[in-house]
Each structure stands twice: as structure tokens, then as C-alpha cells.
């Protein structure tokens, strides 16, 4: 059962977080192009990228759900690497929900939005997930680390 839950957890990361990371990263340069040109096709692309981010962000709820299930089965919920991963995952979710998606919506609503700031928030979101990946691989404080 542990291997099945771990497989689902990892697949959820790949299938849900990957598209959000890519679509969110594509949004700022496409927004700059759309704002400069006023091209309807660029705006349609922005709407699609935003929808990908929103839909896959909801799908990504499976990541911590299955992560907690695996950690519980393995009795590692109190380990440093799990706690750090949980905190960083929470921060990534907050960055996405409170900064990236609202800034994307501002662009879609035609409100003045600094795309460089949106790119920075997107980069922070992606950086947090990269750090979570490293923590999950190296597991600091774990008897298996090293």
C-alpha cells in the first residue's frame, strides 16, 4: 500500500505541479507581448495559461493529501525533512494563491500590473517547489540521509 500511495503522490506532483510551473512561467512574457501588441490571440493564450494554473492548482491538492498518507504510514510525520517540506509546500500554495493567480487575473482584467513582479512571484513559486524536491531527496535529519 505504501508504494501505491507514494507512486500516486509522485505522479500527482508531476501531473499537477509541472503544468502550473510551466504555465505560470509562460504567463509573464506572454503578458508583456499581449500588453504591447493588444493582440487577441495573445490574450486568448493568457486566458488558457491562467486556466491551466487554476485547474491544476486544484488537482495539486492531491500532492499533500497523498504525501501525508505516505508519511503517516512510514511514521515520519515528525521528521525534519517532512516538516520542512510541509512548510515549503504551504508557502508555495500561498504564493500561488495570493500572488501569482491574483496578478494573472489583474492582467486578464486589463488592470495595470507589473509583469516583472508577476515573473518574480512565479519564480519564487517554482523555487519553493525545487527546494521541496531537494529536501524530499536528501531528507535532512533523517536516518536515511547521506
**Domains of the chain, residue spans:** 2-138
Question: Is the pLDDT confidence value at 145 over 60?
Answer: no
HEC assignment per residue over the chain: CHHHHHHHHHHHHHHHHHHHHHHHHHHHHHHHHHHHHCCHHHHHHHHHHHHHHHHHHHHCCHHHHHHHHHHHHHCCCCCHHHHHHHHHHHHHHHHHHHHHHHHHHHHHCCCCCCHHHHHHHHHHHHHHHHHHHHHHHHCCCCCCCC
| 143 — pLDDT class (breaks 50, 70, 90) | low
Mean residue pLDDT across the chain = 94
Each residue's pLDDT tens digit, 14-62: 999 999 999 999 999 999 999 999 899 999 999 999 999 999 999 999 9
pLDDT at 144 over 70: no
If pLDDT is split at 50, 70 and 90, which confidence band does 8 have?
A: very high
Amino acid at each position: 500500500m505504501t508504494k501505491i500511495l507514494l507512486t500516486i503522490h509522485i505522479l500527482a506532483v508531476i501531473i499537477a505541479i509541472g503544468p502550473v510551473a510551466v504555465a505560470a512561467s509562460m504567463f509573464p512574457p506572454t503578458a508583456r507581448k499581449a500588453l504591447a501588441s493588444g493582440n487577441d490571440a495573445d490574450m486568448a493564450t493568457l486566458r488558457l495559461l491562467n486556466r491551466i494554473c487554476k485547474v491544476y492548482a486544484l488537482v495539486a491538492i492531491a500532492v499533500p493529501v497523498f504525501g501525508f498518507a505516505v508519511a503517516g504510514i512510514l511514521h515520519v510525520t515528525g521528521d525534519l525533512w517532512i516538516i520542512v517540506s510541509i512548510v515549503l509546500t504551504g508557502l508555495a500554495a500561498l504564493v500561488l494563491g495570493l500572488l501569482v493567480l491574483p496578478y494573472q487575473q489583474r492582467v486578464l482584467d486589463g488592470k495595470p500590473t507589473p509583469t516583472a513582479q508577476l515573473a518574480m512571484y512565479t519564480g519564487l513559486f517554482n523555487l519553493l517547489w525545487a527546494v521541496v524536491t531537494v529536501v524530499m531527496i536528501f531528507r535532512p535529519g533523517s536516518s536515511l540521509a547521506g
